[in-house]
Structure 1
Amino acid sequence: MLQSFKCEACKSNNQPSVSNHKDNSHLPDCKDEISLNTIGVIKTMFLEKRAVPRQASEAARIISRIELNSRIFNNPEHSLEGLETFSHIWILYYFHRNQIHLKSKVAPPRLGGERVGVFSTRSPHRPCPIGLSLVQLDRIDNGTIYFYGTDMVDGTPVLDIKPYIPQYDVPRKIERQEFFSPREAPDGEENCESVKTASTSTSGNLVSNVTVPNWVTNCKYLSVTFNETAEQQLQELAVEKKSITEILRADPRSVYLRTKYGSQIYTFQLGENTVTCKFDDQNSIVNVLQVRKVVILGDIPVSDDE
């Protein structure tokens, strides 16, 4: 069977079987492009890419939601049955605001302009602009999923949703005898208690075989302060102070802005409000100057003082 096997592309092109190829470079590409259907859309407070957190954990207090597409399922809420029993979920999505990036190297913000291979980073600028985020599930309301942890812009298309399972998703040290472990339960039949036990019993082995480069772990957070005007505006607008702190302490500026325009005034939109702050790069401080409500005049959003 293996010697006579042909993929669908080979069959349609009347190509010889795989085993008859002496050089795999002559094999036809079975499929260069893949068409995927989006299952829903993510609604967040970030209407623009500016100041969107680089990781979901950097904005753990900001709540967002996924609205499932009723064209995929007539009753989208049926596809979510059982998901409420998990605390965290993986979200796979499409960077719809980014063009396809065909450069093999990118410059992560933490490297200060130094370039590394794109596949050694989580940069959103990729040959296949697909994002992956681990978020905390808040609640499910019919066909809508509410979650904490946001690093997506508003309107991001969702490709898939998967539950986070520590038994499978947390790296652990592989012992030789593990290759002869008992049969795993089929998908969908895992026991919650066994998952908890596995995640607990292997906690001592989590760090032994997990490594990351120093530029990832050596992350310095900024000190975020608010002046009296901003403090008063936060109370008037009922804006959560800690959400703004989480965004700014990780320094959302690009390498270009940080190096060319150091210690500058920086503004970004957060939902219905505009936040204005000033960076002090020498002392690693960012001071929030004001928080204003955005007023829509026609098609042009402006702050309420303009």
Structure 2
Amino acid sequence: MPPIKPIPESPPDWPGEVHFRPIGRVCSPFREKFGIPRQARLAPAARARLEMLPPYDREEAFSGLEGFSHLWLLFVFHQDCLAAGWQPMVRPPRLGGRAKIGVFASRSPYRPNAIGLSAVAWHGLTRDQAGLSLSLSGVDLLDGTPVLDIKPYVPYADALPDASPGFTGKLEDRRWAVQFSDEAEQQLAGADPDGRLGLRALIEQVIGLDPRPGYMDRYPRRDTFALQLHNYDVQWQIAGNHARVISITGAASAR
């Protein structure tokens, strides 16, 4: 039996590097990583706009997409992840940030190529002074995220009801009931008087998902947390089996 030849690191006909150019960028309510839902569509109130960049801002490039309700977005984890590099073993939040698994068994951003994939709802195209954009909801994307490609979500091929969920099927989602203090109610009315931002629903859904790191049980005395949504700092407390929003104020970065 002839000896097995080792596989070369890079076949001679492969390029050493592959470069991609973003086709658009996301404008979302998530101005920092803390609080972003850990998967798309967990917070339907998380609305966003995907601004197309020239020369891809052409209506004809989207001809035929109007019959689809959801899209796949291929994007780049751009904040910190590119500089941090990849890790062969990661601690996914779904396992409480403790247990390690291989990076290719996870959706961690710390990958050899910091590329992510999200299925989001889309609500049509808009052409205005800012250019051509797509209206989206249920996003899990940081504001400013570069998008590499858009593909239609095709239910007959993409929805696999018999697929095995791996380690994710063994865990229960923890969700909080969310209440607002009287002061927070008044601040919310001032921050989103006409409901255009959908700020109440967004706060309820994001905090209700319990965005805290899984290792927070190491700090049982800490009960107050804050995150930024749109241009507002939202502060809340854990009280028994629910979360209580105590203030909604203009973010320091927006003042």
With normalisation by structure 2, the TM-score equals 0.84
- Identity fraction in percent: 31
How far 1:261 sits from its partner (Å)? 6.2
Distance 1:216 1:57 in 2: 20
Distance 1:242 1:233 in 2: 15
The residue matched to 2:243 in structure 1 has which SS? strand
The residue matched to 1:245 in structure 2 has which SS? helix
**Relative to 1, partners in 2 of residues 1:156 and 1:26: Cα closer, same or farther, differing over 3 Å?**
closer
Residue 37 in structure 1 maps to residue 21 in structure 2: yes
**Relative to 1, partners in 2 of residues 1:107 and 1:27: Cα closer, same or farther, differing over 3 Å?**
closer
Residue 25 in structure 1 maps to residue 7 in structure 2: yes
Q: Is the 8 A contact 1:110 1:215 kept in 2?
A: no
- Residue 225 of structure 1 corresponds to 179
Q: Is the 8 A contact 1:56 1:150 kept in 2?
A: yes
Residue 291 in structure 1 maps to residue 245 in structure 2: no
- Residue 132 of structure 1 corresponds to 117
Distance 2:248 2:126 in 1: 31
- Residue 252 of structure 1 corresponds to 211
**Relative to 1, partners in 2 of residues 1:233 and 1:104: Cα closer, same or farther, differing over 3 Å?**
same
Per-residue CA deviation, residues 158-178 of structure 1 (Å, 9 max, x unaligned), is 00000011111112xxxxxxx
Runs of 5+ consecutive residues of structure 2 not aligned to the other structure: 193-197
- Residue 180 of structure 1 corresponds to none
- 1:145 is aligned, of 115, 134, 137, to 134
- Residue 233 of structure 2 corresponds to 274
Rg larger for: 1
With normalisation by structure 1, the TM-score equals 0.71
**Relative to 1, partners in 2 of residues 1:234 and 1:130: Cα closer, same or farther, differing over 3 Å?**
same
Distance 2:16 2:75 in 1: 20
- Residue 195 of structure 2 corresponds to none
Matched to 2:25, the amino acid is V
Distance 2:73 2:184 in 1: 34
**Relative to 1, partners in 2 of residues 1:122 and 1:216: Cα closer, same or farther, differing over 3 Å?**
farther
How far 1:130 sits from its partner (Å)? 0.7
How far 1:217 sits from its partner (Å)? 4.2
- Residue 144 of structure 2 corresponds to 155
Bigger share in helix: 1
Distance 1:144 1:134 in 2: 17
The residue matched to 1:42 in structure 2 has which SS? strand
Matched to 2:205, the amino acid is E
Q: What is the aligned-residue RMSD (CA, Å)?
A: 2.3
Runs of 5+ consecutive residues of structure 1 not aligned to the other structure: 1-20, 172-205
How far 1:262 sits from its partner (Å)? 5.2
How far 1:33 sits from its partner (Å)? 2.3
Distance 1:221 1:27 in 2: 46
Aligned length: 239
- The structure whose RCO (Cα within 8 Å, separation 6+) is larger is 2
